[in-house]
Amino acid sequence: MIKDHDSSPFRTSLLEENEGPGTNPTANPTMGEIISRRFSRRGFLQGSLAVTAIAATVSPIALLTAEKVHAEGQSAFNFEELEAGVDERHHVAEGYDADILLRWGDPLFPDSPEFDPTRQTAAAQARQFGYNNDYVGFIPLDGAADHGLLVVNHEYTNPHLMFPGIVSVVEKEGKKKLELKPLTKEQVDVEMAAHGGTIVEIRKDAGKWQVVREGKLNRRITANTEIEITGPAAGSDRLKTSADPTGTKVVGTVNNCAGGVTPWGTYVMAEENMNGYFSGELAAGHKEAANYKRMGIPEGAYEWAAHYDRFDLSKEPNEPNRFGWVVEVDVDDPTSTPKKRTALGRFKHEGAESIVAKDGRVVFYLGDDERFDYVYKFVTSGKFNPNDRAANMDLLDSGTLYVAKFDADGSVAWLPLVHGQGALTAENGFASQADVLIETRRAADLLGATKMDRPEDVQPNGTNGKVYVMLTNNTKRKLDQVDAANPREENVFGHIIEIAEDGGDFTATKGKWEVLLKCGDPSIAEVGASFSTATTANGWFGMPDNCAIDSVGRLWVATDGQGPKATGRTDGLWAVDTEGEARATSKLFFRVPVGAEMCGPQFTPDAETAFVAVQHPGDGGDDWEGFGRLSYYEDLSTRWPDFRDDMPVRPSVVAITKQGGGKIGV
Judged by the rule CB under 6 A, the positions of this chain that interact with ligand FEO are 16, 155, 257, 272, 350, 369, 456, 545
**Shortest Å distance, C-beta 27 to ligand FEO:** 25
**Shortest Å distance, C-beta 516 to Ca ion:** 15
Q: Which does 93 bind (CB under 5 to 8 A by kind): Ca ion, ligand FEO, none?
A: none
Q: Which does 457 bind (CB under 5 to 8 A by kind): Ca ion, ligand FEO, none?
A: Ca ion
β 339-341/226-230 pair status: parallel
Q: What are phi and psi of 356, to 5 degrees?
A: -85, 125
Applying CB under 5 A, does 560 fall inside the site for Ca ion? yes
Q: Which does 458 bind (CB under 5 to 8 A by kind): Ca ion, ligand FEO, none?
A: none
**Shortest Å distance, C-beta 473 to Ca ion:** 9
Q: Which does 303 bind (CB under 5 to 8 A by kind): ligand FEO, Ca ion, none?
A: none
CB nearer to ligand FEO: pick between 424 and 497? 497
Applying CB under 5 A, does 571 fall inside the site for Ca ion? no
Q: Which of these, 2, 4, 301, 9, lies nearest to 172 by C-alpha position?
A: 4
Task: Give, as ranges, the residues between 528 and 557 that touch Ca ion (CB under 5 A).
Answer: 545, 548
Q: Which does 272 bind (CB under 5 to 8 A by kind): ligand FEO, Ca ion, none?
A: ligand FEO
Residue type present at position 267:
Y
Q: Which does 312 bind (CB under 5 to 8 A by kind): Ca ion, ligand FEO, none?
A: none
CB nearer to Ca ion: pick between 136 and 515? 136
Applying CB under 5 A, does 457 fall inside the site for Ca ion? yes
Going across the sheet that includes 361-367, the strands are 353-356, 361-367, 375-383, 399-406, 411-416, 510-518, 495-501, 466-471, 455-461
Segment contacting Ca ion by CB under 5 A, of 293-301, 427-435, 451-459, 523-531: 451-459
Q: Which does 453 bind (CB under 5 to 8 A by kind): ligand FEO, Ca ion, none?
A: none
**Shortest Å distance, C-beta 457 to Ca ion:** 4
Q: How many residues bind Ca ion (CB under 5 A)?
A: 6
SS3 264: coil
Applying CB under 5 A, does 453 fall inside the site for Ca ion? no
Among 201, 456, 505, 577, binds Ca ion (CB under 5 A): 456
Q: Which of these, 267, 274, 273, lies nearest to 250 by C-alpha position?
A: 274
Applying CB under 5 A, does 619 fall inside the site for Ca ion? no
CB nearer to ligand FEO: pick between 16 and 33? 16
Contacts of 635 (CB under 8 A, 6+ apart): 629
Taking the C-alpha atoms of residue 170 and residue 285, their distance in angstroms, rounded to an integer, is 40
Applying CB under 5 A, does 271 fall inside the site for Ca ion? no
Q: Which does 319 bind (CB under 5 to 8 A by kind): ligand FEO, Ca ion, none?
A: none
Q: How far is CA 86 from the centre of its chain?
A: 23
Applying CB under 5 A, does 288 fall inside the site for Ca ion? no
CB nearer to ligand FEO: pick between 326 and 582? 326
Contacts of 529 (CB under 8 A, 6+ apart): 493, 517, 518, 519, 520, 521, 522, 540
CB nearer to Ca ion: pick between 197 and 232? 197
Residue type present at position 181:
K
CB nearer to Ca ion: pick between 313 and 573? 573
**Shortest Å distance, C-beta 547 to Ca ion:** 5
Contacts of 144 (CB under 8 A, 6+ apart): none
Q: Dihedral through CA 59, CA 65, CA 71, CA 75, nearest 10?
A: -110
Task: Give, as ranges, the residues between 10 and 69 that touch Ca ion (CB under 5 A).
Answer: none
**Shortest Å distance, C-beta 225 to ligand FEO:** 20
Q: How far is residue 229 from each of residues 75, 304, 326, 393, 573, measured CA to CA in Å?
A: 46, 22, 10, 14, 35
Question: What's the half-sphere exposure (Cβ side, CA atoms, 13 Å) at 381?
Answer: 9
For residue 441, give the H/E element and its range. helix 440-447
CB 599 within 8 A of CB 626: no
Q: Which does 582 bind (CB under 5 to 8 A by kind): Ca ion, ligand FEO, none?
A: none
CB nearer to ligand FEO: pick between 33 and 134? 134
Q: Which does 579 bind (CB under 5 to 8 A by kind): ligand FEO, Ca ion, none?
A: none
Taking the C-alpha atoms of residue 402 and residue 197, their distance in angstroms, rounded to an integer, is 27
Segment contacting Ca ion by CB under 5 A, of 192-200, 273-281, 421-429, 449-457: 449-457
Residue type present at position 358:
K
Contacts of 53 (CB under 8 A, 6+ apart): 464, 465, 466, 500, 501, 503, 504, 505
| Residues making contact with Ca ion (CB under 5 A) | 456-457, 459, 545, 548, 560
